[in-house]
Amino acid sequence: MKNIKINILAVLLCLATGATAQQTPAPSQTEAVTIVGATAHIGNGEVIENSLIIFEDGKLTQVLDATSTKMQYRGKVINAEGKHVYPGFIAPNATLGLVEISSVRATDDEDEIGDMLPHVRSLIAYNAESKIVESMRPNGVLVGQITPRGSRISGTSSIVQFDAWNWEDAAMKEDDAIHINWPNSFTRGRWWAGEPRGMRPNKEYATEVAELKEFFGQSKAYLGGDQKLVHLPYRAMGEVFSGNKKVFVHVNGEKEILDVIQFSKEQELDNLVIVGGYDAHKVADQIRENNIAVLSGRPHSTPNQEDEDYDFSYKNARLLHEKGILVGLESSGQMETMNTRNLPFYAGTVAGTGMDKEDALKLITSNTAKILGIDNLVGTLEKGKDATLFISEGDALDMRGNRLQHAWIQGREISLDTHQTELYERYSNKFQAAKAE
């Protein structure tokens, strides 16, 4: 009897696991694929109205105008006339795979204890079987930068593709950058501690900035010494000073951004990226002159100040683009993991403020790929790059047209089924059956 109960329990566990796990990763591409007739949005501003796209062994081999070429089709042929083809969208500064349910501590692994943590790697905590990660794919979000949160230096991010068994298989670029949360020159009163409500100057701002500078200085001194004693945080800074790792500074205020620019000069940081950059438009000239890229914050948010335009958040990225700054879109903030699936609609919102639609597309494709340093692999539909792309029935930056028919990651055709689509079909069938009765 005991053995029977154990066997039943094992079966139930297997069924439960099968019901909750992500779709099985697709097998490697074995047959060439030819897409004919679609409007191809290259991702660099170019559009081919009648395209011919061929990929094999996981790489794009041809991206041509079908009207002016007689290229022979290869392998499986997909007639996509009237459809649209896009490069896979890229989600930077995301906690995908690190948090499943925010209110359940055991599923939240985005933050570590400590203050200066450049040695902490987000990649090894990445859950490739996350249901939330899976839900990105039906909207065309196929690549992401997995980023830790909290602390002054949060840790090190890595870039993954969203079709893998584990973090090792998912990794596209390991340990691409460290992330610094710059101090704020203003602080909000803690009412529970008896402090006045509202914003007031942060008396500790200068001290907090000095502590960050001191850490950088001590790291350089350690790396220049004999290093007999192992100090992991200092040692991890070696890749930063050599230029192999970028530095992403999460900062929003005008004064703070100027201080970050000065800090980058003092520390001789050539690969600096501003994340958030709410007031970046106010100091856009200084940002451009110092060749700094910006990952602009989520457009679907309300203005921070009473005297700002109601649609300021919608057009912030456009204002930076018009100043000649390399800009992408990120989606951190409240409920950020699930809201990341709205990335294409964020770009569509920016386009709605007057930005050219193909330039808006660059905010989540080629621009972001350049900022993350993976533009040799993804971001555009170009010969030699990864076959990470999808076919949409309509405009993928509009939720009415973003209806994917096929999607590939590195040439593997991935499933577009998710927990949400399963529930949709389940209850659609229920109500259709009830209506028939």
Q: Where are the domains of the chain?
A: 22-85+382-437, 89-378
**For the domain with range 89-378, which CATH number is right: 3.40.50.300, 3.30.470.10, 3.40.50.1000, 3.20.20.140?**
3.20.20.140
User: If one looks up domain 22-85+382-437 in CATH, what number appears?
Assistant: 2.30.40.10
Tell me whether the CATH fold assigned to 22-85+382-437 matches the one assigned to 89-378: no
Among 402, 423, 435, smallest CA distance to 136 is for 402
Q: HSE-up of 67 (CA within 13 Å, CB side)?
A: 7
352 class by beta-carbon count within 10 Å (0-12 exposed, 13-18 middle, 19+ buried): middle
Q: Which of 200, 162, 151 is nearest to 343 (CA)?
A: 162
pLDDT in tens, 262-310: 999 999 998 999 999 999 999 999 999 999 999 999 999 999 888 899 9
Q: What is the pLDDT of residue 227?
A: 83
Let me know the angle formed at the C-alpha of 144 by 142 and 146, rounded to the nearest 5 degrees: 150
Maximal CA-CA distance, the chain: 81
Residue from 374, 394, 386 nearest 412 by CA = 386
Total-model pTM: 0.91
Predicted confidence (pLDDT) at residue 420 exceeds the cutoff of 90: no
| CB-CB contact of 38 with 391 (8 Å) | yes
Task: Kindly report, residue by residue over 48-104, the tens digit of the pLDDT.
Answer: 999 999 999 999 999 999 998 888 899 999 999 999 999 999 999 999 999 888 888
Percent of the chain with pLDDT over 90: 76
The pair of structure tokens assigned to 54 is 């061929």
